Structure 1
Amino acid sequence: MIESPVPFPKAVLFDFDGVLVDTEWAIYQSWERVFRAHGHALPLDCFNQCLGSGYTHWNPADHLESLTGKTYDWETINAERQKRIHADLAHSGLMTGALELLNWCRKQALPLAVASSSSHRWVDGWLEKLGIRDRFVSVLCRDDGLPVKPDPALYVESARRLSLPPADCLVIEDSENGTTAAHRAGIPVIAVPNRITECANFELATCRVSSLHKVLELLQHSPLAR
């Protein structure tokens, strides 16, 4: 039997982008095209600074202006980026292994929540589109008025809404900012990097695995799993 490195949780808290849906590649590509059009590269290790934080702690737009010494019509540029992002994601579904993990958690009667630095319009729109909004007891986003990751507030409040101590929950994350937020909240966190975040630093994670299938495997082998 494989011994799970995380205790069996009383609830599971999910990040959204890059964990439940592979949105981050399309978002990165939209920015990479903008940078390339203005003669600059956007390395993944640089872009990772904003993942999980909603551009609060590092903004690609500010970075490009610092590189070029110019200002840009971001309202027009961002409107075009959003069109490309939505087109690129038009046929996207859940991340591989996500549905199996959600179904297993439901069989275990584990309450679920989403804590995201993205907007409710974005997150709730996806959850409704994918038919999984009713799986989550709580969905917290940046427009709920809490500091975004790496601040722990979103995760602390998610645990409070579930009437659980943070240490009794488990976070599933894909970004360094999100992993830091969970760690600061005192919640065990499994990092599941994707093609955007695989270069990030996950030293604060309880453990790092390669997929949501691996997360499910760890939970299934936890001593209290039914």
Structure 2
Amino acid sequence: MQSSRPVIIGVAGGTGSGKTTVAQEIFKQFQGSSIVLIEQDAYYKNQDHLSFEERLKTNYDHPLAFDNELLYTHLLQLADRAPIEKPSYDYANHTRAKEVTRIEPKDVIILEGILILEDERLRSLMDIKAFVDTDADIRIIRRLMRDTKERGRSIDSVIEQYTSVVRPMHLQFVEPTKRYADVIIPEGGQNKVAIDLLATKIHTVVANKSLHG
């Protein structure tokens, strides 16, 4: 298998949809195998050249917030069995952190993020494209709970950001990418049947590549 191209799985969906849970559940099912999970969030653009006040205006739900050029290059490197230096993002300072993580090539790559299906180059590298489809009321409740508990945000600020930025960006950029998905998973991480089916499909693709690679 070592010489064949890795299997690349894309897991997309809106904020609070459960896409991270789905990606992590699939990752768990392959534990002990050659697998890596890469988050699109690690590839937010470097904003060192901007003042802190300007960085605060960043729209993190817009495709232009991501350095997809670097992400695409890194996926190609991993596909060629070369290691990468994955960036990390400093949310407190709204720019890329100094730390990087060395990622070794693996047989299975799970790429997770809200807008991974929006970029045609990224889509072209994926063997399986999944979209986690969860009702908007569930997603806003999950975001409220996460941002107030984990990020110290006020309820008012979360709701204001959701209605002014997150929701319109979801409708404009995230929701339309559902049409590119091979698999649509309703209700995210709660959907054990869909996760098991997707994991079974990945096993099949990996086995086929192993045979013909």
The alignment's TM-score, normalised by the length of structure 1, stands at: 0.35
Higher RCO (CA-CA < 8 Å; seq separation 6+): 2
Bigger strand fraction: 2
